[in-house]
A and B are shown apart, each in its own frame.
Chain A
Amino acid sequence: MATATAPALRVALPGVLKHRALHKLLLLAVVAAVLAPLAHARWHSGTWPAALTVDLTDPLTRVSDWIIDNRDSHPLFLYFFGHISNGVVLCVRAVYLFLLAAGWAGVTALGAFVAWRTAGVRLALGTAAAFLACGLLGMWVPTMQTLALMAVAVLASVVTGALLGLAAGLSDRMDRALRPVLDTMQVLPAFAYLLPVVLVFGIGVPAAVLATVVYAAPPMARLTSLGLRGADKEVLEAVESLGATARQRLLSARLPLARRELLLGLNQTIMMALSMAVIASVIGGGGLGDRVYQALASVDVGAALAAGIPIVLLAVVLDRVTAAAGRGTETAHGRLTTYAPLTTYALLAAVAALAVAARLAGRPDWPDAWTVAVAEPVNRVVDWMTDHLYSGVPVVGGTADWAGRFTTWVLDPVRDGLQGLPWWSVLLLVAALAWLTGTWRTALTAVLAMTAIGVLGVWEPSLDTLSQVLAAVAVTLVLGFATGVAAARSDRVERLLRPVLDVFQTMPQFVYLIPVVALFGVGRAPAVAAAVVYALPAVVRITTQGLRQVDPAALESARSLGATGGQQLRQVQLPLARPALLLALNQGVVLVLGVVIIGGLVGGGALGYDAVFGLAQGDLATGLVAGAAIVCLGLMLDRVTQPAVRRAQKGA
């Protein structure tokens, strides 16, 4: 739909748009002319005035103390949080014990079987290979722990998300109430809300599962609601004319029609949950994430990679299988039933037999002898690379020199520039940008978010973080658009890129934090580098897709007019793919923010450091304020980069 309406809109817009943009700017200029001198006179220009901040340290410390003192005795904890926590522990334990009882042979066979039924033989083989690889890396038990945790978290996210989505899909009022909440959660970096969850539930699996649910449920809710609202009106009318009740309509028409969106939601939820697996290890999630985190502590990139690869494999397999299930619903209703039930049962029996056989042979655990040590060779390669690239490379200089120059010539000026701006002019700038790309509503949200940052008293560190985000986004976009254009123009490049993108999109960021420090030293530069690595795949993907979806007829006619390849790209493809490019910008900004925060672990400082500090010291006052500021920053960046076209469509 995006591509169908956008070109038509664009043809009509430019004249009007310029006109309207001018109006908006004029209006803002008038507002500024009135308010700025007032603000300057009342407080002062420069950084956010101290008179306008609210110090939350005391109340937050009191809350934190109250929770710790009453955690073991207050009814709220005993009868509410305690049961939630218990339920989570019971469920995870049940799944974990089942997986252990099935043994490695049983789990592998079961995984392959499910993949075969939903996605065909090739993916089944891939699934089996992935599970065996986890075992070969010596990561069988941690993989099962992560799998158990994920299974419970994904199930809870899907149920929560589907219920919220159902409410939003059926009631307009719920939709209006939920949309801002979901919008906010979508841009929330995971690191921001670990602390409150830990404070209530303590370190451990329940906290990890709940943090994952908060992170992974929104896409499910959003897509469920979208699917219900997008259902074909005519079909619904037809069903209604047959005299179906509201419930029947929902179950027999609206939900089945929304199946594609529901499965896409499931897919998104699983991906989000897996990306959380490692971050959750910071609060005691255990499993693979914990292995990555422990390896990070002893500066052992190889061991971190050995634990990271199973996560990547799980992610790729689950992504492909659920995506295939989503596609399968359209084309292969027939195909799925062509397998005789008998074959299915026979295969299930075979799976069970295999599991039992492995168990009887006394081998439910992965045999220790069958593991491959990858850590050492990987470490040698990484050491060699970082040794040779760090400095003294002829002509271009080493990575340390680049990092130094990037910090001095890009990061410092941007940060000092932002922090040097009078506070009211930052607000005006944000308002102007958000209003130009969106509506007055988005502008208002963005300005309010920025104001909240000021009021919370973290204006300076927030602008520091903002400067890192801006620099990282700029680098990401330059690299991403260039790669995206190359991939869109050549099938071979795209095929080559695909596995690389898959790996970097799902590889836990903790794995490459250390090599990044070894290359760029401690500071803001490695944080930016890590953010670029993380955000690049999504930007490349969206750009490639956008360019490829450009109407072939438009390209054909350009070609027939004798346009060269470069002209086609500049004058036809790029303008027509503008919505996709804007979406890439928006996604890039949100992803970059997430990693710049994690960059607090490698010397990024600013809000990321505060969030890490809050977690490490159990300091709610620092951590929660930093978390809130991160949320506001994310909200502001999202609104500023979110084109009005997309918003209009979401409402449709």
Chain B
Amino acid sequence: MRLRTTTAAAAAGLLLLTGCGAADMTQQASPFANARGARTVTLSVQSWVGAQANVAVAQYLLEHELGYRVDTVQIDEVPAWDALSQGRVDALLEDWGHPDQERRYVDDKKTIARGGDLGVTGHIGWYVPTYFAEAHPDVTDWKNLDKYAERFRTPESGGKGQLMDGSPSYVTNDKALVENLDLDYQVVFAGSEAAQITQIRRFAQEKKPFLTYWYSPQWLFEKVPMTEVKLPAYKDGCDADPEKVACGYPQTPLQKYLNADFARTGGRAAAFLKKFRWTTEDQNMVSLLIADQKLTPEQAAKKWVDSHESTWRAWLS
């Protein structure tokens, strides 16, 4: 009997504690946020280093100039939209274009607000290392790729040439492209960008030829110069049906998104994040410091901030 009453009491206590009414999961922050009364902004970091660079600089300025505490959470893009809409994170600083999510959260549910351009234009494409492209200039046209399939073969690609793709979270039509352009290639998914970069650097060290899905801006170009392979030109709407895509990728102006509530009530932090806008060179500088020189994101951000005061002063006003 006593056991049952204790259980009931505990349940009642829990109910009381949580408030007997509805518990809206969208109003929940991380339990680690706002410890010791600091104002906290939570930023989502995507798995590529460019996104880390955005967040590092934003975090540095928020902490040192505006006096916020910043938490970062590593999430892939699509789940980040979800987390943004639920208020688990306050801002997503680099989005490569997700029209479905945009329609659902920004236009229909209005739980996410647009935060403006990041200032960087992204482009996805197929790349071969420049040392190979210089020796075989005609490889940079997709029509000649089949000629070189033999050279791009690996144990993983069966009898075909290997086209290496990266993380499953990235925007890609490569499987359909290989199919529709009728290429003698096999798409091999590296599964994560880390694995892909490691493999590319390995190939480059050996001066081996390879064909890979890659994107700019990306710091790796500074370490392993790569040349883009021309795919059929992108036209508006040519990628509408994911099964029938037979064209290359567009130029995407990268976007920022903010949680709608945070955009309204976030005060100086929200205003700052809306104004945050820099160039590809800026982003690459910070990315290189992080990924190649192995500085911590904070050190890298400090280096950039110290030498670009006029740029970031404008974001704070």
Contacts and interface: CB of A to CB of B under 8 A. Distances in A.
Q: Do A and B come from one complex?
A: yes
Interface of A: 68, 71-72, 75, 77-79, 81-83, 85-87, 89-90, 92-93, 96-97, 100, 145, 148, 198, 201-206, 281, 283-284, 286, 290, 293-294, 296-300, 302-303, 375-376, 379, 387, 390-391, 400, 403-404, 407-408, 412, 513-514, 517-518, 521-526, 599-605, 608-609, 612-613, 615-618
B171 to A, nearest CB: 10
B168 A284 contact: no
A248 B47 CA distance: 56
Most B-side CB within 10 Å, residue of A100, A601, A616: A616
Given A296-B192, A297-B193, A299-B194, A603 B156 contact: yes
B23 A85 contact: yes
30 contacts: A78-B22, A89-B29, A90-B18, A92-B31, A93-B31, A96-B31, A100-B35, A100-B36, A145-B32, A203-B79, A203-B80, A203-B83, A203-B86, A204-B88, A284-B88, A297-B194, A298-B290, A298-B291, A299-B197, A299-B198, A375-B294, A523-B154, A523-B188, A601-B191, A602-B190, A602-B195, A603-B195, A605-B191, A609-B168, A609-B189
Contacts of B193: 297
A203 B22 contact: no
Interface string B94-126: 000000000010000101000000000000000
A526 B188 CA distance: 14
Contacts of A523: 154-156, 188
B180 interface: no
Q: Considering residues B30, B52, B188, which has the most beta carbons from chain A within 10 angstroms of its beta carbon?
A: B30
Interface of B: 14-15, 17-18, 22-26, 28-32, 35-36, 45, 47-49, 52, 71-80, 82-83, 86, 88-89, 104, 109, 111, 154-156, 164, 167-169, 188-199, 202, 205-206, 290-291, 294
Contact of B52 (A298, A376, A524, A617): A298
Contact of B28 (A89, A148, A602, A609): A89
B82 A202 contact: yes
A402 to B, nearest CB: 11
Nearest to B23: A82
A408 B195 contact: no
A3 B190 CA distance: 45
B79 A297 contact: no
Contacts of A524: 156
A522 B28 contact: no
A376 B168 contact: no
What 5 A-B pairs are tightest by C-beta distance, nearest first? A82-B23, A616-B169, A93-B31, A78-B22, A613-B168
B8 to A, nearest CB: 15
Given A83-B15, A290-B73, A617-B169, 11 more contacts: A83-B14, A87-B17, A198-B82, A202-B82, A203-B89, A296-B192, A297-B52, A297-B192, A518-B198, A600-B168, A612-B191
A618 B164 contact: no
Contacts of B47: 297
B294 to A, nearest CB: 6
Contacts of A201: 25
A202 B47 CA distance: 19
B41 to A, nearest CB: 15
B22 A617 contact: no
